[in-house]
Structure 1
């Protein structure tokens, strides 16, 4: 198999599953071939990626030609063969850079979001005609791309699940966190991810309020995308009288250490395309409760290696209480979830599949 020079492109400002996947791609592909990364300066991904070989471009919504010209020059200078982009808003920058470059590299998008319609105009047809391949992160996403993108402009489609691995845990930090939050025998409910309405952190607060008489503590791990939503959560905590039961940690790089505090992790997004945090928790042997839509339906066998809920805080509270009252079920689900991840969502195996897809 020929080695190809790969460029990972992501100008997104935040740090969630999509951006973490960019970092994973770079870390894995750079062990096999030359891999460059192009990101936005001072973004959360910039802070997270602890490498010196980063190239910065500022996205322009109204004048994408300027960042595209800068990227095209970088592509030619570094003899890039494949542009691998992730954030849908980067599509115009990536396509223009490909067209403007001398090398005309293969353009591949990892599609982390579903598609509900296609803008059937010349501009969008031109964009998709210049994409060589789309990597769908679930079968549902692949089906949507087949349904909505017209066949005459549809790129080649491939489906490869995301993967994760068992991370090294700093037990010293875990013990420090236990002491910091005075954790003894509480049943700890966690939710990890960007703090925003669609992620459903408010549902966890509502569920904990319904279980207020139980020995439960909740950790909401992640930074707020918008101050308004953060203030809403803080107000809910105050109104429900949960100041001693709900912790808002803010941004942290110690996500895996925080997960070690959890008895259960929740994904409360209304419709999560994949749910990287689901398999990360399962790899940490933390039972998952996830919304019964989108990606979790392709990951979790309900009642066997995780629990699914209908998206309401009432049903979420019922699932939390079920685990609260059944330690044996907690252990069974945790072990089954771990075994599934090692078999079906193993990072090295999934990255090998994706690399083969990119360079084929």
Structure 2
């Protein structure tokens, strides 16, 4: 069988959630059926990371979209790559990439699909990108798929759940870790964690305020793991630190900043708290579940599609009051974290591994191209 040659376009070259997904798919892509080259629109650490996977990379420096000269220059370069490398399919990673790759593919009469990592709304970029011809769109969750299908004109939209690389997120074993002693956390204390970019839509402020209320009565600690990425909301962390200072025990809220490796930190936590009201999927959720951790998440969007509340995690209505209630119930031993964590790991192993994600990705590409 002839290999399908993919040209994958990524607007950024640093690791974010969508980029981590791309890397995991490349790791598990069937080398007997696919050959992938990756184009980045800027230099960054991800270029070398992808090269280490054995993929050829290209960096085409793209200025802001308003720079028309740069825009058409990049499209011309893409067209040259499509021809010279014998590309069969262009895969545009995220909407911005499709603004370039979709046009280049159209001009070269090649199929193009794009990856919608978020929940699209009526933002001009979502509307514009959806008008560029595409063979199909891949979405990580049913909620993302639902909103993408509302945009016109409608290209075929296929579900492609995300997955966790279980080698990077083995079942957590906190024994022997010196994390708690170094940070002055007693072994018997319950440790909650917020993990993710520090942006307002992810609502870490709600998590910290809920923690402040719980800490008045219980010996608990909170780890805030994350920072600002891609230059977004760089001042927000200071707001969160101010909220933390409102606590009776501000020393129990530990800001750890952005971390490249989160598994060793999560291994010493007990519960991961998620607060987004309309999460497109929730990689933080599945990664935490893979480590055997209990996750508290809002029962909407992606988390509702992942968690069976009371079996492998806990869902709440998004309010601070109900979050406080659940956190206190956990501290008071009303839930078995061991059982929830064991079931969480089983859920990831059966439904949300990186291998299954890549396998679905391959199937979706063949489905879209064969139906063209």
Give your verdict on TM over 0.5.
Answer: yes
Q: CA RMSD in A?
A: 2.8
- Residue in 2 that maps onto 1:108: 113
Following superposition of structure 1 onto structure 2, how do residues 61-76 of structure 1 map, counting pairs within 5 Å?
Answer: 61-62=65-66, 63=68, 64-76=71-83
- Residue in 1 that maps onto 2:36: 35
Following superposition of structure 1 onto structure 2, how do residues 284-323 of structure 1 map, counting pairs within 5 Å?
Answer: 284-323=291-330
Task: Give the CA deviation at 1:188.
Answer: 1.0
Structure 1 CA distance, aligned partners of 2:78 and 2:176?
42
- Residue in 1 that maps onto 2:207: 204
Q: Cα 1:49–1:204, aligned 2, differ >3 Å: closer, same or farther?
A: farther
Q: Cα 1:192–1:124, aligned 2, differ >3 Å: closer, same or farther?
A: closer
Task: Give the CA deviation at 1:280.
Answer: 1.1
Structure 1 CA distance, aligned partners of 2:180 and 2:304?
33
Task: Give the CA deviation at 1:208.
Answer: 1.1
Unmatched 5+ residue regions in structure 1? Answer: none
Is the Cα contact below 8 Å between 2:75 and 2:104 reproduced in 1?
yes
Following superposition of structure 1 onto structure 2, how do residues 165-176 of structure 1 map, counting pairs within 5 Å?
Answer: 165-168=165-168, 175-176=177-178
Following superposition of structure 1 onto structure 2, how do residues 147-158 of structure 1 map, counting pairs within 5 Å?
Answer: 147-150=150-153, 154-158=154-158
Which of 262, 282, 292 matches 1:255?
A: 262
Please state whether the residue corresponding to 2:251 is helix, strand or coil: coil
1:351 matched to 2:353? The reply is no
1:322-342 deviations in whole A, cap 9, x for unaligned?
222227521121111111111
- Residue in 2 that maps onto 1:281: 288
Q: Cα 1:48–1:281, aligned 2, differ >3 Å: closer, same or farther?
A: farther
TM-score, length basis structure 1: 0.88
Please state whether the residue corresponding to 1:220 is helix, strand or coil: strand
Structure 1 CA distance, aligned partners of 2:308 and 2:267?
23
Following superposition of structure 1 onto structure 2, how do residues 8-27 of structure 1 map, counting pairs within 5 Å?
Answer: 8-12=8-12, 15-27=15-27
Unmatched 5+ residue regions in structure 2? Answer: 368-372
TM-score, length basis structure 2: 0.85
Q: Which stretches of structure 1, 4 residues or more, deviate above 6 A after TM superposition?
A: 170-174
Please state whether the residue corresponding to 2:235 is helix, strand or coil: helix
- Residue in 2 that maps onto 1:224: 228
Structure 1 CA distance, aligned partners of 2:312 and 2:302?
15
Q: Cα 1:240–1:182, aligned 2, differ >3 Å: closer, same or farther?
A: closer
Q: Cα 1:202–1:69, aligned 2, differ >3 Å: closer, same or farther?
A: same
Task: Give the CA deviation at 1:68.
Answer: 2.0
Structure 2 CA distance, aligned partners of 1:174 and 1:133?
48
Structure 2 CA distance, aligned partners of 1:234 and 1:118?
31
- Residue in 1 that maps onto 2:98: 91
Task: Give the CA deviation at 1:240.
Answer: 2.5
Structure 2 CA distance, aligned partners of 1:55 and 1:295?
33
Identify the range of structure 1 (29-38 vs 207-216) with the bigger mean alpha-carbon deviation: 29-38
Is the Cα contact below 8 Å between 1:178 and 1:261 reproduced in 2?
yes
Please state whether the residue corresponding to 1:5 is helix, strand or coil: strand
Identify the range of structure 1 (177-186 vs 40-49) with the bigger mean alpha-carbon deviation: 40-49
Task: Give the CA deviation at 1:242.
Answer: 4.1
Is the Cα contact below 8 Å between 1:4 and 1:82 reproduced in 2?
yes
Identify the range of structure 1 (105-114 vs 92-101) with the bigger mean alpha-carbon deviation: 92-101
Q: Cα 1:269–1:126, aligned 2, differ >3 Å: closer, same or farther?
A: closer
